[in-house]
């Protein structure tokens, strides 16, 4: 009876059904970005309403994927115009794209990786790389860790065995093409949720722990990640909470920075230019997707 009662309140309080209060930003460092004042905002092509991943492609272009078709898109980041579309696989829920040196990779939500061969040609092909992740992970972000020659994959949901109420980031070695058995970083959801204004959540941590095997009530659900080219910090976006979590090299949380929902309705992709300028892509829902640029201005 207690379990049924608890489950009965889930639709009311599940993440996404109610917006958490905005974090207090008055005493926080901005880490070089004013997320309330973007430098440019572009409405994207109608094919990118469901944009879900972003990477720097060359000195004027970004590459993107959306979560319905096996295509990658080249965007001029100075104009926001779509300049090229290339098919690499069939339909699927593609959530991340990353250029790692001379190699281009795409992440599917079930944790599988596609290495795109001949991505500069008119007819690229792809090689599928299987990992031990599955649909429960709901992989949503892909980043290149150049210093360690690896790709980072973040799980939006199930982090792995024995990792209750955490989010996990796994590493794919680019030489062996093997995925780490255990996460290389973990992020406690409680710490992020509390910082993001959920401390007064009437469900409470005890109830969340109790129902966690059945339903994940935590609000922190990563949707993108990227390594800052200047500081080396790892930036992780949560689309649900509208925050950026900044991790140090050792995995400690350095900051939790709020995003403006009026600017970024559903942030799903991010990429840094070499100078630190940050692009965040937002799904459009009923409207056009957006590409938002925040120039890096360190204190």
Residues 154-199: pLDDT tens digits? 999 999 999 989 999 999 999 999 999 999 999 999 999 887 654 3
Q: Per the domain annotation, does 38 fall within a domain?
A: no
The pTM of this model reads 0.85
Could you give the number of structural domains in the chain? 1
Cβ(41)–Cβ(291) under 8 Å?
A: yes
Q: Per the domain annotation, does 5 fall within a domain?
A: no
Residue 70 has pLDDT above 50, yes or no: yes
Summarize the confidence of residues 19-34 as an average pLDDT: 57
At residue 243, the 3 state secondary structure works out as strand
CA distances from 170 to 113, 115, 186 (A): 13, 17, 9
The Cβ of residue 160 has, within 10 Å, a number of other Cβ atoms equal to 17
Q: Are strands 150-155 and 243-247 parallel, antiparallel or unpaired?
A: unpaired
Give the integer Cα–Cα distance in Å for 218 and 195.
13
Question: Which 3-state string (H, E, C) describes 90-101?
Answer: CCCCEEEEEEEC
Cβ-Cβ contacts under 8 Å for 102 (sequence gap 6 or more): none
Give the integer Cα–Cα distance in Å for 172 and 54.
18
Cβ-Cβ contacts under 8 Å for 26 (sequence gap 6 or more): none
Q: Per the domain annotation, does 22 fall within a domain?
A: no
Q: What is the CATH number of the domain that holds 168?
A: 2.120.10.30
Higher-pLDDT residue of 101 and 199 is: 101
Q: What's the burial of 121, exposed, middle or buried (CB within 10 Å: 0-12/13-18/19+)? A: exposed
Q: Per the domain annotation, does 81 fall within a domain?
A: yes
Give the integer Cα–Cα distance in Å for 12 and 82.
40
Q: Per the domain annotation, does 216 fall within a domain?
A: yes
pLDDT at 3: 39
- Helices (H), strands (E): how many in the chain? 4, 20
Residues 106-133: pLDDT tens digits? 999 999 999 999 999 999 999 999 999 9
- H/E stretch holding 255 reads strand 253-258
Give the integer Cα–Cα distance in Å for 111 and 123.
24
> In the beta sheet, which residues pair with residue 185?
169
- Of 264, 196, 206, 248, the residue nearest 54 (C-alpha): 264
Q: Per the domain annotation, does 23 fall within a domain?
A: no
Cβ(283)–Cβ(289) under 8 Å?
A: yes
Q: Per the domain annotation, does 278 fall within a domain?
A: yes
Residue 211 has pLDDT above 60, yes or no: no
Q: What are the two backbone dihedrals, phi and then psi, of residue 157, each rounded to the nearest 5 degrees?
A: -120, -120
Domain that holds residue 199: 44-294
Instruction: Tell whether the torsion through CA atoms of 6, 168, 224 and 259 is positive or negative.
Output: positive
pLDDT at 13: 32
Q: Per the domain annotation, does 36 fall within a domain?
A: no
Please state which of the ranges 4-8, 34-38, 151-155, 180-184 shows the lowest mean pLDDT: 4-8
Residue 44 has pLDDT above 80, yes or no: yes
Q: What is the mean pLDDT of the chain?
A: 87
């Amino acid at each position: 009876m207690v379990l049924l009662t608890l489950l009965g309140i889930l639709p009311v309080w599940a993440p996404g059904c109610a917006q958490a209060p905005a974090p207090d930003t008055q005493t926080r460092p901005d880490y070089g970005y004013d997320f309330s004042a973007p430098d440019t905002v572009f409405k994207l092509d109608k094919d990118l309403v469901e944009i879900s991943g972003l990477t720097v492609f060359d000195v004027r272009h970004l590459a993107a994927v959306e979560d319905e078709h096996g295509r990658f898109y080249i965007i001029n980041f100075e104009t926001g115009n779509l300049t090229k579309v290339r098919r690499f696989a069939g339909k699927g829920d593609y959530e991340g794209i990353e250029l790692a040196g001379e190699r281009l990779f795409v992440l599917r939500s079930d944790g599988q990786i596609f290495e795109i061969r001949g991505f500069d040609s008119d007819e690229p092909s792809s090689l599928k790389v299987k990992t031990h992740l599955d649909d429960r992970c709901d992989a949503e972000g892909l980043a290149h860790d150049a210093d360690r020659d690896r790709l980072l994959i973040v799980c939006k949901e199930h982090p792995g065995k024995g990792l209750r109420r955490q989010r996990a980031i796994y590493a794919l070695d680019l030489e062996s093409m093997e995925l780490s058995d255990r996460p290389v970083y973990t992020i406690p959801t409680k710490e992020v949720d509390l910082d993001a204004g959920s401390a007064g959540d009437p469900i409470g941590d005890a109830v969340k722990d109790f129902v966690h095997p059945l339903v994940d009530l935590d609000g922190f659900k990563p949707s993108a990640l990227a390594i800052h080219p200047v500081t080396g910090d790892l930036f992780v976006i949560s689309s649900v909470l509208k925050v950026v979590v900044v991790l140090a090299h050792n995995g400690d949380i350095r900051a939790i920075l709020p995003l403006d929902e009026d600017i970024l309705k559903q942030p799903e992709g991010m990429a840094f230019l070499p100078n630190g300028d940050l692009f965040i892509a937002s799904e459009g829902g009923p409207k056009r997707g957006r590409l938002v640029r925040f120039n890096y201005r360190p204190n």
